[in-house]
């Protein structure tokens, strides 16, 4: 029987993310259901603080000076990220489907996990200092709402978030 793992990511999966997912499942037949939010619900002040904590001063400045994408651009970026992620997973020989979510990514994860009887949820994000510190990140929120394990990985690395 094939189990399901729901993957919530804020950007395209990269090779290291695929390796992490492959090592997570081993030879077990798994279907991945990938979710990419079109509106991640990010807060400008929190984004600036996150970027400053990561010493990404250029991005913090861009955020402050109006460098944020329009809603249409966010949807377009999410569709592209989803297509790239599905292509990466399928190229690695993994079964995957996916959707672009709306305003509440965690609600989408909960609904998808329940609908698919998912065995696990994996949240793959960049580090977010404020949310991670105060445990308000997507992985912690999903863990509180679901009865399945939630793994929080940082994109492009093997680092595990605190969820």
**Distant-in-sequence, close-in-space partners of 159: CB < 8 Å, separation ≥ 6:** 127, 153
Q: Name the one residue in this structure whose structure tokens are 């250029």.
A: 58
Answer whether residue 67 is part of any domain: no
pLDDT of residue 163: 47
Q: Which residue has the tokens 């793992």?
A: 5
pLDDT under 50: residue ranges of the chain: 163
Does some domain include residue 64?
A: no
- Over residues 46-65, the pLDDT tens digits come to 666 666 666 777 776 777 77
Q: How far apart are CA 55 and CA 128, in angstroms?
A: 12
Q: pTM score > 0.85 for this model? A: no
> Looking at residue 136, which CATH number applies to its domain?
3.40.50.620
The phi and psi torsions of 126 (rounded to 5 degrees) equal -70, 160
Residue 70 has what pLDDT?
76
At 43 the pLDDT is 60
Encoding tokens for residue 35?
């979710």
Domain that includes residue 133, residue range: 3-41+76-154
Classify residue 62: in a domain, yes or no. Answer: no
Number of domains comprising the chain: 1
pLDDT value of residue 48: 65
Q: What is the pLDDT of residue 105?
A: 92
pLDDT digits (tens, 9 = 90+) for 102-113: 888 999 999 999
Q: How far apart are the first and last CA of the chain?
A: 28
């Amino acid at each position: 029987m094939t189990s399901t793992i729901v993957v919530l990511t804020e950007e395209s999966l990269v090779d290291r993310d695929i390796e992490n997912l492959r090592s997570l499942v081993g030879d077990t037949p798994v279907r991945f259901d990938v979710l990419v939010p079109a509106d991640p619900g990010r807060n400008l002040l929190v984004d600036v603080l996150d970027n400053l904590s990561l010493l990404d001063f250029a991005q913090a400045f861009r955020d402050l000076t109006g460098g944020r994408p329009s809603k249409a651009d966010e949807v377009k970026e999410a569709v592209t990220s989803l297509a790239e992620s599905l292509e990466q997973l399928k190229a690695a020989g993994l079964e995957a489907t996916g959707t672009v979510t709306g305003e509440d990514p965690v609600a989408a994860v909960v609904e998808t996990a329940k609908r698919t009887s998912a065995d696990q949820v994996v949240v793959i994000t960049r580090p977010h200092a404020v949310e991670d510190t105060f445990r308000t990140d997507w992985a912690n929120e999903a863990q509180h709402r679901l009865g399945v394990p939630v793994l929080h990985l940082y994109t492009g690395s093997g680092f595990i978030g605190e969820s």
